[in-house]
């Protein structure tokens, strides 16, 4: 087996081990409570079977947009896309193995210039440069299910790629519950550090219900 084929196979196995919603995913709705400091906002969210997101009932427009962005991130992580569709045109090179047994995989052909670390069947690090922003996401803990792995504790560091200056640091703790046949996020705590300022934001989802399939 060539090194490139080996790197591709390693990455593919980890990519396909991620938990994603299947083609029968009916969508779901939930009530949301967002807490930040002394501020509390409530509203309603839904993800449709076609992966569109709806957020309603939040009086503050900026907060509503923040919830919408968070829901879109959930869709990005859970939406199923085949390896060939997402990475078929990329080439993969095996890099060094670090002290934690994570191996570097360098991806070229990817328009966003991504590098990964793979440990076992998990993508433990994503490193990417996007124009004037570079970021590294490290996954520390995952929920392992029979249908795949969901990252539950991870952090992201954003830097200026020219100066290496840290612009923003984020730490995420995600909780999930199985609703019917699908794992759905029920809580996310985000700790943000930017310009020396620390902010904790909590997203709590309750009354989570799968949507009824439309009658054909």
Give residue limits of the domains in the chain: 3-206
What does the pLDDT look like over 149-164, one tens digit per residue? 999 999 999 999 999 9
Spell out, as residue ranges, where the chain has pLDDT lower than 50: 1, 216
- Give the separation between CA 18 and CA 149, rounded to whole angstroms: 5
Backbone phi and psi for residue 8, each to the nearest 5 degrees, phi listed first = -60, -45
CA angle 209-210-216, nearest 5°?
140
Looking at residue 131, what is its pLDDT? 83
What does the pLDDT look like over 92-123, one tens digit per residue? 889 989 998 899 998 887 656 689 999 989 99
Looking at residue 84, what is its pLDDT? 83
- Does the predicted model carry a pTM greater than 0.85? yes
Looking at residue 132, what is its pLDDT? 87
Q: Give the helix/strand (H/E) hosting 7.
A: helix 3-17
């Amino acid at each position: 087996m060539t090194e490139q084929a080996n790197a591709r196979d390693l990455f593919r196995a980890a990519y396909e081990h991620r938990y994603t919603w299947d083609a029968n995913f009916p969508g779901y709705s939930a009530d949301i409570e967002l807490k930040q400091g002394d501020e509390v906002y409530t509203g309603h969210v839904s993800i449709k079977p076609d992966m569109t997101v709806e957020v309603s009932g939040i009086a503050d427009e900026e907060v509503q947009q923040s919830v919408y962005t968070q829901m879109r991130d959930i869709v990005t992580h859970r939406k199923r896309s085949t390896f060939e569709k997402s990475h078929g045109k990329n080439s993969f090179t095996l890099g060094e193995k670090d002290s934690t047994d994570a191996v570097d995989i360098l991806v070229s052909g990817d328009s966003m210039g991504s590098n990964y670390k793979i440990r076992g069947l998990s993508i433990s690090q994503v490193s990417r440069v996007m124009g004037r922003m570079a970021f590294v996401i490290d996954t520390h803990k995952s929920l392992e299910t029979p249908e795949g792995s969901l990252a539950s504790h991870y952090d992201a560091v954003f830097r200026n790629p020219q100066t290496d200056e840290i612009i923003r640091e984020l730490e995420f703790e995600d909780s999930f519950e199985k609703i019917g046949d699908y794992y759905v996020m029920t809580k996310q705590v985000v700790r943000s550090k930017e310009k020396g300022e620390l902010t904790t934001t909590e997203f709590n989802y309750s009354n989570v219900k799968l949507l009824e399939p439309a009658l054909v």
